[in-house]
Structure 1
Amino acid sequence: MSVRIRLQRHGKKGKPFYWIVAADARSKRDGRFLEKLGIYNPNTNPATIELNMDSSVRWLHNGAQPSDTARAILSYKGALLKHHLEVGVNKGALTTEQAEAKLQAWIDEKAARINAKKDSLSQDKAEVKAAALKAEKAVNEKRMAAAADAARAAEAEAVVETAVEEAPEVAVEETVVAEAAPEVVAEETVEAAAPEVVAEEPATEAATEEGTTEA
């Protein structure tokens, strides 16, 4: 039976994750499998990979052929290197201790690179967050300044409107006072003229009496 190490899709639409499986090469892509070897989640950064190293190497020893993506994952996790070193041990090219030392050195170096990448990503996220906060603060300050300017403008406009509304009232009062003054003068004139009329009446009576005497 030909065995193939490949990915089996799971997860939701748009956010898939995969099982790494050893399956019969004749079975459907997402059908039955012989053994689950690990998982691969590309939705994280860096991608999350969990792999059963010993089972994967055993299937490689038994002739299982990985797909292109599965081969890249096995190489990334060191399964292909371990398989190669064990083949060398079986051929007598190196001892088991030497193979284990080489594998461990490779794993440590790989882990250091992964951690450095994670630290870099964390720093980038922190810088992006700080820049976003700074930009948000600047926007808020502009909004507050605009609101303050609008409030000052509204206050100044209200003062002008109040002054305009009060000005006609003063003018009307002055006009009323000015119009009332002639009436007072007219009344005084009439009162002053009244004695003259009274003074003329005795003169008329005296003239009448003189005319009667002459007759």
Structure 2
Amino acid sequence: MAVKIRLARRGRKKAAIYDIVVADARAPRDGKFIEKLGTYNPNTNPASIDFNEDKAFEWVMNGAQPTDTVKAMLSYRGILFRKHLQIGVNKGAVTQEVADQRFNEWKETKEAKVEAKRQQVGTDKDAKRKAALEAETKVKEARAEAIRQREADKAAAEAAANAPAPAEEAPEAAAEGDASTEEQA
């Protein structure tokens, strides 16, 4: 019986969540499976992969063939590296202690990279939020300044319309008076 480690789709439309399952290769995608190993949620950033690593390692060592996507997940979590080291132990190339030490060192560096990615995503979100807030504040200040300028211009125009009107009449009257004196002469 050919056994595969693959994804079985769950979740709702356009928001898929997958189960990582061990199933007979002839079984339907979402159908009967032998054992559920965990879940995979591609909707988060970074994608959350949660499965029983010991069971997955056991199935891989027993010959279960992972699909391409699951193979990438197993590689990401170090299951395939652990298999590689275990085969070296079985052949006598390295001891179990050395293999465990190499795997633990690899796992620590990998976890540090993942945590750095999570922190980077968080700081990027904060930076974008701050930049958007600053841009919005600048636009708001520019609008407020434009409104103040408009109101000042409007007030100046009203003041000019009200105050200069009597001042203009006086020069016109003086001009008319000058014209009348010129006519008399």
Give the TM-score range, shorter chain.
Answer: 0.7 to 0.9
Match of 2:156 in 1: 156
One-letter code aligned to 1:27: A
Higher helix share: 1
In structure 1, distance between residues paired with 2:52 and 2:82 = 12
- Please give the secondary structure, in 1, of the residue aligned with 2:44: coil
Match of 1:16 in 2: 16
Match of 1:139 in 2: 139
* TM-score between the two structures when normalised by the length of structure 1: 0.71
- Tell me the CA shift for residue 87 of structure 1: 2.2
Match of 1:43 in 2: 43
Structure 1 unaligned residues grouped into runs of 5+ = 172-215
- Bigger RCO of structures 1 and 2 (CA < 8 A, at least 6 apart): 2
Given that 1:17 and 1:42 are in contact with CA atoms closer than 8 Å, whether structure 2 keeps it comes out as yes
- Tell me the CA shift for residue 15 of structure 1: 2.1
- The number of equivalent residue pairs is 169
* TM-score between the two structures when normalised by the length of structure 2: 0.82
Equivalent positions of 1:103-182 (< 5 A) are 103-163=103-163
- Identical pairs, percent: 46
Match of 1:72 in 2: 72
One-letter code aligned to 2:71: R
- Tell me the CA shift for residue 26 of structure 1: 0.7
- Tell me the CA shift for residue 160 of structure 1: 4.2
Structure 2 unaligned residues grouped into runs of 5+ = 171-185
CA RMSD of aligned residues (A): 2.1
In structure 2, distance between residues paired with 1:114 and 1:56 = 21
In structure 2, distance between residues paired with 1:141 and 1:67 = 56
In structure 2, distance between residues paired with 1:154 and 1:18 = 65
In structure 1, distance between residues paired with 2:116 and 2:109 = 11
